[in-house]
Amino acid sequence: AQSVAQPEDQVNVAEGNPLTVKCTYSVSGNPYLFWYVQYPNRGLQFLLKYITGDNLVKGSYGFEAEFNKSQTSFHLKKPSALVSDSALYFCAVSGGNFNKFYFGSGTKLNVKP
Protein backbone atom coordinates (compact mmCIF):
# COMPACT_ATOMS: atom_id res chain seq x y z
CA ALA A 1 0.00 0.00 0.00
CA GLN A 2 1.16 3.51 -0.73
CA SER A 3 1.66 5.90 2.15
CA VAL A 4 3.46 9.02 3.22
CA ALA A 5 4.67 9.90 6.69
CA GLN A 6 5.53 13.34 7.98
CA PRO A 7 6.84 12.57 11.46
CA GLU A 8 6.77 16.14 12.78
CA ASP A 9 3.48 17.94 13.32
CA GLN A 10 5.35 21.20 13.79
CA VAL A 11 8.81 22.56 13.08
CA ASN A 12 10.07 25.74 14.71
CA VAL A 13 13.03 27.61 13.31
CA ALA A 14 14.49 31.09 13.66
CA GLU A 15 14.58 33.39 10.68
CA GLY A 16 17.86 33.06 8.80
CA ASN A 17 18.49 29.52 10.01
CA PRO A 18 18.27 26.48 7.74
CA LEU A 19 15.09 24.45 7.84
CA THR A 20 14.23 20.83 7.14
CA VAL A 21 10.77 19.30 6.91
CA LYS A 22 10.88 15.52 6.86
CA CYS A 23 8.99 13.08 4.65
CA THR A 24 9.24 9.33 4.20
CA TYR A 25 7.19 7.26 1.81
CA SER A 26 6.16 3.73 0.93
CA VAL A 27 5.16 2.95 -2.65
CA SER A 28 5.26 0.09 -5.07
CA GLY A 29 7.56 0.76 -7.97
CA ASN A 30 9.29 4.04 -8.64
CA PRO A 31 7.84 6.99 -6.75
CA TYR A 32 6.83 10.38 -8.01
CA LEU A 33 7.26 12.77 -5.07
CA PHE A 34 5.87 16.24 -4.50
CA TRP A 35 5.90 19.03 -1.95
CA TYR A 36 3.03 21.48 -1.59
CA VAL A 37 2.51 24.46 0.70
CA GLN A 38 -0.76 25.70 2.15
CA TYR A 39 -1.30 29.17 3.57
CA PRO A 40 -4.26 29.76 5.92
CA ASN A 41 -7.66 29.44 4.25
CA ARG A 42 -6.09 28.75 0.86
CA GLY A 43 -5.68 25.80 -1.45
CA LEU A 44 -2.38 24.00 -1.82
CA GLN A 45 0.39 25.40 -3.99
CA PHE A 46 3.02 23.31 -5.74
CA LEU A 47 6.64 23.74 -4.59
CA LEU A 48 8.65 21.04 -6.32
CA LYS A 49 8.64 17.46 -7.56
CA TYR A 50 10.95 14.51 -8.11
CA ILE A 51 10.27 12.26 -11.07
CA THR A 52 13.68 10.96 -12.06
CA GLY A 53 17.25 12.12 -12.43
CA ASP A 54 19.23 14.26 -9.99
CA ASN A 55 18.41 13.44 -6.38
CA LEU A 56 18.49 17.12 -5.40
CA VAL A 57 15.48 18.97 -6.73
CA LYS A 58 15.15 22.74 -6.66
CA GLY A 59 11.78 24.42 -6.50
CA SER A 60 9.95 27.64 -5.84
CA TYR A 61 10.87 30.28 -3.22
CA GLY A 62 14.36 28.87 -2.63
CA PHE A 63 13.15 25.46 -1.45
CA GLU A 64 14.85 22.23 -2.41
CA ALA A 65 14.36 18.57 -1.60
CA GLU A 66 16.61 15.56 -1.58
CA PHE A 67 15.42 12.18 -2.78
CA ASN A 68 17.04 9.29 -0.93
CA LYS A 69 15.96 5.96 -2.36
CA SER A 70 17.66 3.79 0.25
CA GLN A 71 16.00 5.67 3.11
CA THR A 72 12.75 6.20 1.16
CA SER A 73 12.85 9.85 2.13
CA PHE A 74 12.20 13.16 0.42
CA HIS A 75 13.03 15.89 2.93
CA LEU A 76 12.28 19.52 2.14
CA LYS A 77 15.04 22.02 2.87
CA LYS A 78 15.85 25.70 2.68
CA PRO A 79 19.22 27.23 3.55
CA SER A 80 17.82 30.38 5.17
CA ALA A 81 14.25 30.53 6.50
CA LEU A 82 11.99 33.57 6.16
CA VAL A 83 9.08 34.53 8.40
CA SER A 84 6.93 34.41 5.27
CA ASP A 85 7.75 30.68 4.92
CA SER A 86 5.48 29.98 7.90
CA ALA A 87 2.75 27.72 6.55
CA LEU A 88 1.56 24.13 6.39
CA TYR A 89 3.67 21.83 4.21
CA PHE A 90 2.51 18.60 2.63
CA CYS A 91 4.51 15.81 1.06
CA ALA A 92 2.73 13.67 -1.55
CA VAL A 93 3.57 10.54 -3.52
CA SER A 94 2.16 8.66 -6.47
CA GLY A 95 3.40 5.31 -7.67
CA GLY A 96 2.04 2.22 -9.29
CA ASN A 97 -1.17 3.94 -10.35
CA PHE A 98 0.21 7.38 -11.12
CA ASN A 99 -3.24 8.91 -11.05
CA LYS A 100 -3.59 8.30 -7.32
CA PHE A 101 -1.85 10.64 -4.93
CA TYR A 102 -1.23 10.05 -1.26
CA PHE A 103 -0.56 12.99 1.02
CA GLY A 104 1.15 13.15 4.36
CA SER A 105 -0.60 14.62 7.37
CA GLY A 106 1.21 17.92 7.02
CA THR A 107 3.88 19.78 8.98
CA LYS A 108 3.31 23.25 10.32
CA LEU A 109 6.40 25.37 9.88
CA ASN A 110 6.82 28.29 12.25
CA VAL A 111 9.60 30.75 11.45
CA LYS A 112 10.19 33.25 14.22
CA PRO A 113 11.85 36.63 13.68
| Contacting positions for another protein (CB under 8 A) | 4, 6, 9, 32, 34, 36, 41-46, 49, 51, 90, 92, 94, 97-106
Q: Which is nearer to another protein, 39 or 112 (CB)?
A: 39
Q: Which residues contact 43 (CB under 8 A, 6 or more apart)?
A: none
Q: What phi, psi does 85 have (nearest 5°)?
A: -80, -10
> How many alpha carbons fall within 13 Å on the CB side of residue 34?
18
* Complex with another protein: residue 8 or 15, whichever CB lies closer: 8
We find the least distance from the C-beta atom of residue 104 to another protein, in angstroms, to be 5
Nearest approach in angstroms of CB 64 to another protein is: 16
